[in-house]
Amino acid sequence: MKPVYLDNNATTRTDPEAVAVMLPFFTEHYGNASSSHAFGAEVAGAVRNARRQLQGLLGAAHDHEVVFLSGGTEADNAAILSALEANPERNRIVTSAVEHPAILSCVSHLQQTRGVEVVMIGVDSDGRLDIDAYREALTPQTAIASIMWANNENGVLNPVEELANLAHEAGALFHTDAVQAAGKVPIDLSESAIDMLSLSGHKFHGPKGIGALFVRKGVKFRPMLRGGRQERGRRAGTENIPAIVGMGKAAEIALARLAEEQIRVRSLRNRLEKGILQQIDDCRVLGGALDRLPNTSNIAFDCLDSEAILHKLEQAGIAASSGSACASGSMEPSHVLRAMNVPVSLLQGAIRFSLSRENTGQDVDRVLAELPGIVSHLRSMSPLWRERHPEAEALPESLIANGGR
Select 164 or 378, whichever has its Cβ closest to ligand PLP.
Answer: 164
Q: Which of 152, 192, 296, 354 touches ligand PLP by CB under 6 A?
A: 152
DSSP code for 203: G
Q: Which of 4, 54, 147, 148 touches ligand PLP by CB under 6 A?
A: 148
Angle at 241 between CA 238 and CA 245, to 5 degrees: 150
Helix boundaries (H) for 89-197: 101-114, 131-137, 160-169
Select 81 or 384, whichever has its Cβ closest to ligand PLP.
Answer: 81
Restricted to residues 168-197, the positions that interact with ligand PLP (CB under 6 A) are 177, 179-180
Restricted to residues 309-368, the positions that interact with ligand PLP (CB under 6 A) are none
| Helix (H) / strand (E) containing 53 | helix 38-58
Q: For residue 100, state whether it binds ligand PLP (rule: CB under 6 A).
A: yes
Please tell me which residue in 106, 283, 303, 326 is annotated as part of the active site.
326
Q: How far apart are CA 227 and CA 237, in angstroms?
A: 7
Q: How far apart are CA 125 and CA 128, in angstroms?
A: 7
Taking 3-state DSSP, the helix, strand and coil percentages for the chain, each rounded to the nearest 5, stand at: 45, 15, 40
Select 152 or 382, whichever has its Cβ closest to ligand PLP.
Answer: 152
Cβ contact 314:284 at 8 Å: no
In the residue annotation, 326 being an active-site residue is answered as yes
Residue 237 CB, shortest distance to ligand PLP, in Å, is 16
Residues in contact with ligand PLP, counted by CB under 6 A, come to a total of 13
Q: Measured between alpha carbons, how far is residue 165 from residues 50, 135, 172, 226, 285 in Å? A: 30, 10, 10, 31, 31
Residue 180 CB, shortest distance to ligand PLP, in Å, is 5
Restricted to residues 102-141, the positions that interact with ligand PLP (CB under 6 A) are 102
Residue 98 CB, shortest distance to ligand PLP, in Å, is 10
Helix boundaries (H) for 233-340: 241-279, 306-315, 335-339
Residue 99 CB, shortest distance to ligand PLP, in Å, is 7
Question: How far separated are the first and last CA of the chain, in Å rounded?
Answer: 15
| String of contacts with ligand PLP for each residue 204-233, x by CB under 6 A | -------x----------------------
Restricted to residues 51-90, the positions that interact with ligand PLP (CB under 6 A) are 71-73, 76
Interface residues toward ligand PLP, by CB under 6 A: 71-73, 76, 100, 102, 148, 152, 177, 179-180, 200, 211
Residues annotated as catalytic (active site), given as ranges: 326
